[in-house]
A = this chain, B = another copy of it.
């Protein structure tokens, strides 16, 4: 068999990875706001949070900061960029959105300022596509306005999240309700007092359906009786309050039957759509963090002296700076191409590209941030620079939405299938 590389395909003729005319002013506005307003505000927010009596609350000072940013962004029309198809949004392509996501990644409050945070963007898409009018009235409007937050409740402590068919949170029909029992963990955003919606992946087994149709998704109000917040999972010792990654217990949690989306067994069908863009957004934000780390590294190397010379002249520092730049550029381009593949509308074609960047981007960002920390001396590991927090955050991406190994396997299988009909 004579396989030919993918790029011979006709659709590649138009592969445009640059910024479009319409994107340019948006990008300029977002980049400027991140640099001049959100980065300083993020630092102020963290200071305010450090003073909060309960880390799991938003003090008035904190709310003032974040709501102030959101109000400004909305006022300037920098809002809900992720609304790719809707008439209510800019209708940006994934490539265009990627450029904005990179900028948002540079500040902790970046994505939320523009109402483009995970998991809300994916959750809003789910509501838009699969929710009833009642669901939309209850949750979608408020989410679109940035008034509430939401969580996506999928991972379980007792099962390898690399294989989602193992999910076992029980969901049994009882009259007009479903009854949920089980545990979930790493539920990001569930610590946020503003979180008013859980979208929960549950197990609704039936012998009549195949292996990938044993699960469903259901909308749950976090205040429903029977839900216990067991604890906050820590990321390298940090509970990430008030956002939080919670460990939850569901005990006889009763949910209206109409909250089950699409129908029993269609859980994976729903999640299919959300993972692709979400992964690319994570990657692009990670690239933004790498870019910011490189900037900090270079500035440090110019300002700090040792042995009578600026750091950049010492050791392998020219090479370190250059290698970081080379890595970032390659990753950004791969991410843009993955975004472009998604824009072509065939998720099966785009799949391996998403797996590629999902593997490559966090690893690259970790390397760049690590070098930046090293250039900053002991301070680089501390609260005096954003680097340590960036590192621990990006490290979670190598586990979230599928660990590296699973994505590598996807990429390899696609390669092998070019040359064989066998199941690889």
Contact = CB atoms under 8 A, between A and B. Distances in A.
A295 B20 contact: no
Given A334-B329, A382-B233, A377 B399 contact: yes
A389 B325 contact: no
Chain A residues touching B, majority SS: helix
Interface stretch (A74-82, A174-182, A250-258, A304-312): A304-312
Given A312-B424, A315-B408, A321-B412, A360 B161 contact: no
Interface residues of A, number: 109
Q: This chain: how many copies in the complex?
A: 4
Interface string A276-309: 0000000000000001001100110110111100
Contacts of A418: 298
A350 interface: no
B13 A24 contact: yes
A339 interface: no
A13 B8 contact: no
Contacts of A331: 330
Contact of A15 (B17, B325, B377, B403): B17
A19 interface: yes
B234 A298 contact: no
Contacts of A130: none
A304 to B, nearest CB: 6
Interface stretch (A27-35, A84-92, A109-117, A261-269): A27-35
Contact of A319 (B2, B374, B392, B405): B405
Nearest to A364: B330
Given A318-B315, A383-B234, A31 B17 contact: no
A104 B299 CA distance: 40
Given A321-B411, A326-B360, 7 more contacts: A12-B19, A13-B21, A236-B237, A238-B238, A329-B337, A378-B399, A381-B392
20 contacts: A7-B19, A13-B20, A160-B305, A160-B311, A185-B378, A233-B378, A234-B382, A236-B392, A298-B416, A298-B419, A302-B420, A312-B412, A315-B405, A322-B411, A325-B352, A326-B360, A329-B334, A330-B334, A333-B337, A377-B399
